[in-house]
Structure 1
Amino acid sequence: MGVDYDTIVEEFEWDIPESYTVTSTVADHAASFGDRVAVHFLNEDGHREERTYADLRDDMNRFANGLEELGVGKGDRVMHLFPRHPDAFAIQLGALATGSLLVPCSSMLRAKDIEFRSNDCTATTVIVHESLTDMVEPILDDSPLERVIVLDGDEADLDDDRWTTFQSVIDDQPTEYDGPDLSAEDPMSINYTSGTTGQPKPVLHKHRWQYCFNRVNGPYWWGVDDDTDLEEELLWATTGTGWAKWFWSPVGVGLTSGATQLIYDGDFEPETFLQILEDEGVTKLCAVPTQYRMFANADLESYDVQLNNTLSAGEPLNREPIERIEEAWGVTPRDGYGQTETVALVTNYPGIEVKSGSMGKPTPGVGATIVEMDKEEEVEPGEIGEIAVPVDSPAIFDGYYEKPELDEQKLSGEYYRTGDLASQDEDGYFFFEGRADDIIISSGYRIGPFEVEDALISHDAVAEAAAVDSPHDERGSVVKTYVILAEGYEGSDELKTELQEFMKEETAPYKYPRRIEFVDELPKTSSGKIRRVELREQEEEKHA
């Protein structure tokens, strides 16, 4: 069913309640439908648990009371480091209820990363799962951390008075909490960027951020709006608790809307995840492109799924998995684009035509556009520019935590510039071209790496690819691709030639990779994004 995009954008209005917080929203859900399951938890060993909205409210308040007893209060920074867990929401909400700022950390980080974050934002408390304590213990004396709360820990195993357990903190605490008055404009979290270049940056968000997710990500990406029968839906976002994406979906859409959602704690295996989709009756799935690519290689027709929405985020999704899933299940994966600093800025949302390879159209109310690289002027259709958002948009972050010099760099002009490049067609659809520093300039042509990678991956021999500029005496730079081959293929000069000829047919001839190197893996950030900067540095060293 189509929608009138222009009318939706024109009629959209922000109406952010001054008193809005994610904690009060969950408490309201508990009062309205406390017996509805909020969390359906499953792990790879088959263990199951459930938490209703009333359970979340009660455990949130218990933990808030316990934290306050430990001396944690408004404005304190509270780090957390745990896998997907049935108590994840209660811990996050409990800390927020005290007025503390959450500092999420991924289990894919290392001890030095935890040390950097704790010192950078002067965090005084960390909640860590018992399986990850070795990431905290070595850095404790070199950080401002005063207390460590161990999830699933045993008090008998702790011999340092700075350490306690989550269970000890909530034991005998009341299920009512009289905490500080909080509003939509109170600080909520410090989410560190994934750091594709330089040190990660501390992105500050207020409680308003979660309202904006509910207002934008819900209807214009997830397909969750006032007409959705939430009792008939089961949402599953495969993200981890340490990523901004956790706040985009499990918190920002799942909890704020009052939906029931699945949390699965287990390593990604395509067949396992596909079986879970069928067995649990998931209706709305949000996964990352790598997972969709691996799904596309499985026997999708053998799984009886009930999906009505499939969403992709993290990096652009290639055409091949979109077409494969659409053919097998009759549902089209819909790309969404945003950053740690924002809500969903551009989406293929329900009702608009999905154009293959497109990020979609700007979401209503946000004001995303494409501007020239060195000017604050919008580019013409077909031209490559930088995705930007007006600095007064409520859908972007509130600066970098205690980093005024970064605020000056990023928020002092008319636009917040994302650093991501895109072009726009005559119908208003955005097409991702790469990071601003990933753009390839060869013989005067500007070439986005994603278009090259997307076309190359459509060849049967290619499992994954990364395109970068490689220094060249005559052309300045040429396109170089690092290629991971699909199973059953071996690298050879003949295959390189075949891929080059294939690319000349798939893209404009000047975009084909004049250099190809077969590799076993690609350098990536802890969140799975390709670190093209490392590949560019390799090329510069080779051709110096």
Structure 2
Amino acid sequence: MEADDTGGPETIDWEIPPEYTVASAVEEHAAAVGDRVALSFLSETGDRAERTYADLRDDMHRFANGLEQLGVGQGDRVMHLFPRHPDAFAVQLGALSVGALLVPSSAMLQPADIEFRANDCAAETIVVHESLTDMVEPVLTESPIERVIVLDGTGAVADDRWTTVEAVMDGQSTAYDGPDVGAEDPMSINYTSGTTGKPKPVLHKHRWQYCFNRVNARHWWGIDEETDLDDELLWATTGTGWAKWFWSPVGVGPTTGASQFIYDGDFEPERFLEVLEAEGVTKLCAVPTQYRMFASADLAAYDVQLTDALSAGEPLNREPIEQIEQIEAAWGVTPRDGYGQTETVALVLNTPEMAVKPGSMGKPSPGIETTILDVDDEVPVEPGEIGEIAVPIDSPAIFDGYYEKPHLDDRTFSGEYYRTGDLASMDEDGSFFFFEGRADDIIISAGYRIGPFEVEDALVSHDAVAEAAAVDSPHDERGSVVKAYIVLAAGATASEELKTELQEFMEAETAPYKYPRRIEFVDELPKTSSGKIRRIELREQERARFG
């Protein structure tokens, strides 16, 4: 890849082959390197499984043939609800091969969430793991779902709507001659987290995965035509129900022909370090919380052979810099942040060639023209000012609208830019971006614009604070003031003295107008199923009190 004089990538080729799909990429890899391991799977109990690219091709074809016999075809919506699993790719790519749209769902959802999604996109088929069927059973009478396909299913079925993945694939051919599906055909409906309202159905076409190959794989994971994939093993710790699964396990592995490791177990730093060492993982993508917990372990006790460490899912903020430096000293690599959304590929990232600037998301990704606009106008902000991250609406790196929601499309694509709803600022050179929070969450106090993330970031650096959320609270003179909801760290006790201490601490850490004039200690913060803080609930609470 080419690099400019700042260490960032210079250009990108957006010539997307019209016939491109991830399934077609897998077929190419199976023909070229069929015996290469596509995925190596390890369960929490130590069970192992392995799939080569030839296995993956054959299994996705068998599942596609079985789906077609069930009557699932082009344009149908297929929900899936299963943990990390060795057959996850076969199920997903098999459904895509028949021209269906995948609707990923997280195991952290509730039956009401499943019902909402099924009704919203009119899904008639769901693939669910045997351990999660109790989430599906209650919604069958109130949703259009008419086929339930159970992964690892062995028990008796309630009626003829139920079958198993094994039964669907049994006796099917490993060759598949399906419909002509290409880059401009619909691929998936990924629902947003719902931080400010009902989750929205984000529609992506197959070209989305090609864009991951050109941006995420090359400029974030560091995989290009010169990479010796026989020496690489990738591990992204995400689950199958999140957009991040399409960012990395689907968007990087099968598109490049790389080998991936999948571990289905809860995060425990020592256990994950053991796995990193034993499996020989070379490229890791985890969330900042996991990196912070890694740093609390005895890193020197593990012979980790990483060449790249990536961070995604939440901002890699300034607070854990000291801990990140411990990781760099032990592993010889610095975790590199990347920013994007359910709606996009990586819009801002730290490439392998760049020197990481602590607390920054990195620089705009090549070929996307990511910028920061004034929240009230379509003009770029000056360095140091807070604005909204935005992308030209004709960029190939963003989504194709909301599924059957023209009123949302009209609102979202009415201007020249797709506005992400996320706030950021630039450094003095106008090159590195820093995350500041959600645009909906911006606090305007006495004329000052304040991003909640900087306030929260500074608060959690205090030993007494475990979590923090900053919102605007109505005020007669200032219009609004910063209100901080705080979850205390173990051993800390709520008191008026601690409130004063935290306010004085914040006045020293941030600009004077940013410190929280109101503080409330709480046991927990309201969050979405994906763990994002629902500041909208806290704002409504403040309006009820002071509005």
Query: If the length of structure 1 is used for normalisation, what is the TM-score?
Result: 0.96
Report how far residue 211 of structure 1 moved: 0.4
Q: Could you say what secondary structure the match of 1:373 adopts?
A: coil
Letter of the structure 2 residue corresponding to residue 98 of structure 1: V
> How far, CA to CA, are the matches of 2:302 and 2:456 in structure 1?
29
Letter of the structure 2 residue corresponding to residue 125 of structure 1: T
> How far, CA to CA, are the matches of 2:5 and 2:32 in structure 1?
33
- Equivalent residue number for residue 304 of structure 1: 303
Report the aligned-residue RMSD: 1.8
- Equivalent residue number for residue 459 of structure 2: 456
Letter of the structure 2 residue corresponding to residue 210 of structure 1: Q
- Equivalent residue number for residue 350 of structure 2: 348
- Equivalent residue number for residue 412 of structure 1: 414
CA contact (8 A) 2:9 2:351 kept: no
Q: Could you say what secondary structure the match of 1:319 adopts?
A: coil
> How far, CA to CA, are the matches of 2:337 and 2:125 in structure 1?
36
- Equivalent residue number for residue 17 of structure 2: 17
Deviates more, 1:248-257 or 1:494-503: 494-503
Which residue of 496, 500, 510 maps to 1:507?
510
Please give the residue correspondences for 1:179-198 in structure 2 after superposition, counting only pairs within 5 Å.
179-198=178-197
- Equivalent residue number for residue 537 of structure 1: 540
CA-to-aligned-CA distance 1:33-74 (integer Å, 9 cap, x gap): 111111111111111111111111010000000000111111
- Equivalent residue number for residue 440 of structure 1: 443
Please give the residue correspondences for 1:140-539 in structure 2 after superposition, counting only pairs within 5 Å.
140-154=140-154, 157-328=156-327, 329=330, 330-427=332-429, 428-539=431-542
CA contact (8 A) 1:9 1:365 kept: no
- Equivalent residue number for residue 34 of structure 1: 34
CA contact (8 A) 1:322 1:333 kept: no
> How far, CA to CA, are the matches of 2:5 and 2:364 in structure 1?
10
C-alpha distance 78-2 of structure 1, shift in aligned 2 (>3 A):
closer
Report how far residue 520 of structure 1 moved: 2.5
Q: Could you say what secondary structure the match of 1:409 adopts?
A: helix
CA contact (8 A) 1:2 1:351 kept: no
Report how far residue 11 of structure 1 moved: 3.5
> How far, CA to CA, are the matches of 2:386 and 2:268 in structure 1?
37
CA-to-aligned-CA distance 1:447-482 (integer Å, 9 cap, x gap): 111111112222222222211112222222221222
Deviates more, 1:331-340 or 1:499-508: 499-508
> How far, CA to CA, are the matches of 1:485 and 1:7 in structure 2?
41
> How far, CA to CA, are the matches of 1:2 and 1:211 in structure 2?
19
Q: Could you say what secondary structure the match of 1:180 adopts?
A: coil
Letter of the structure 2 residue corresponding to residue 425 of structure 1: D
Letter of the structure 1 residue corresponding to residue 123 of structure 2: A
CA contact (8 A) 1:440 1:449 kept: yes
Deviates more, 1:219-228 or 1:126-135: 219-228
> How far, CA to CA, are the matches of 1:471 and 1:159 in structure 2?
54
Letter of the structure 2 residue corresponding to residue 448 of structure 1: G
Q: Could you say what secondary structure the match of 1:379 adopts?
A: coil
Letter of the structure 1 residue corresponding to residue 440 of structure 2: D
C-alpha distance 321-40 of structure 1, shift in aligned 2 (>3 A):
farther
Q: Could you say what secondary structure the match of 1:250 adopts?
A: coil
- Equivalent residue number for residue 65 of structure 1: 65
Report how far residue 147 of structure 1 moved: 0.8
Q: Could you say what secondary structure the match of 1:370 adopts?
A: strand
The reply to whether residue 88 of structure 1 matches residue 91 of structure 2 is no
CA-to-aligned-CA distance 1:135-189 (integer Å, 9 cap, x gap): 11111122111211000112x5113001001100000111000111111111111
C-alpha distance 482-7 of structure 1, shift in aligned 2 (>3 A):
closer
Report how far residue 10 of structure 1 moved: 5.0
C-alpha distance 274-466 of structure 1, shift in aligned 2 (>3 A):
farther
> How far, CA to CA, are the matches of 2:114 and 2:505 in structure 1?
45
C-alpha distance 24-322 of structure 1, shift in aligned 2 (>3 A):
farther
Report how far residue 542 of structure 1 moved: 2.9
Deviates more, 1:23-32 or 1:302-311: 302-311
C-alpha distance 10-281 of structure 1, shift in aligned 2 (>3 A):
closer
Q: Could you say what secondary structure the match of 1:210 adopts?
A: helix
Stretches of structure 2 lacking an aligned partner (at least 5 in a row):
none
Deviates more, 1:47-56 or 1:204-213: 47-56
Report how far residue 425 of structure 1 moved: 2.1
Deviates more, 1:329-338 or 1:285-294: 285-294
Deviates more, 1:29-38 or 1:279-288: 279-288
C-alpha distance 65-387 of structure 1, shift in aligned 2 (>3 A):
same
C-alpha distance 319-382 of structure 1, shift in aligned 2 (>3 A):
closer
CA contact (8 A) 1:235 1:261 kept: yes
CA contact (8 A) 2:78 2:102 kept: yes
Report how far residue 121 of structure 1 moved: 0.9
CA contact (8 A) 2:79 2:102 kept: yes
Q: Could you say what secondary structure the match of 2:407 adopts?
A: helix
CA contact (8 A) 1:422 1:434 kept: yes
C-alpha distance 7-295 of structure 1, shift in aligned 2 (>3 A):
closer
Query: If the length of structure 2 is used for normalisation, what is the TM-score?
Result: 0.96
> How far, CA to CA, are the matches of 2:410 and 2:357 in structure 1?
37
Stretches of structure 1 lacking an aligned partner (at least 5 in a row):
none
C-alpha distance 470-296 of structure 1, shift in aligned 2 (>3 A):
farther
Letter of the structure 1 residue corresponding to residue 385 of structure 2: E
CA-to-aligned-CA distance 1:336-357 (integer Å, 9 cap, x gap): 1111110000011211121111
Report how far residue 5 of structure 1 moved: 5.4
What is the number of residues matched between the two proteins?
Answer: 543
Deviates more, 1:221-230 or 1:42-51: 221-230
C-alpha distance 331-488 of structure 1, shift in aligned 2 (>3 A):
farther
> How far, CA to CA, are the matches of 1:457 and 1:7 in structure 2?
32
Letter of the structure 2 residue corresponding to residue 390 of structure 1: P
CA contact (8 A) 1:440 1:446 kept: yes
CA contact (8 A) 2:203 2:403 kept: yes
CA contact (8 A) 2:13 2:214 kept: no
Letter of the structure 1 residue corresponding to residue 409 of structure 2: D
> How far, CA to CA, are the matches of 1:514 and 1:241 in structure 2?
41
Q: Could you say what secondary structure the match of 2:347 adopts?
A: strand
CA contact (8 A) 2:8 2:354 kept: no
CA contact (8 A) 1:322 1:332 kept: no
Q: Could you say what secondary structure the match of 1:222 adopts?
A: coil
- Equivalent residue number for residue 103 of structure 2: 103
C-alpha distance 447-424 of structure 1, shift in aligned 2 (>3 A):
same
CA contact (8 A) 2:292 2:324 kept: no
C-alpha distance 353-222 of structure 1, shift in aligned 2 (>3 A):
same
> How far, CA to CA, are the matches of 1:61 and 1:166 in structure 2?
13
Report how far residue 432 of structure 1 moved: 1.2
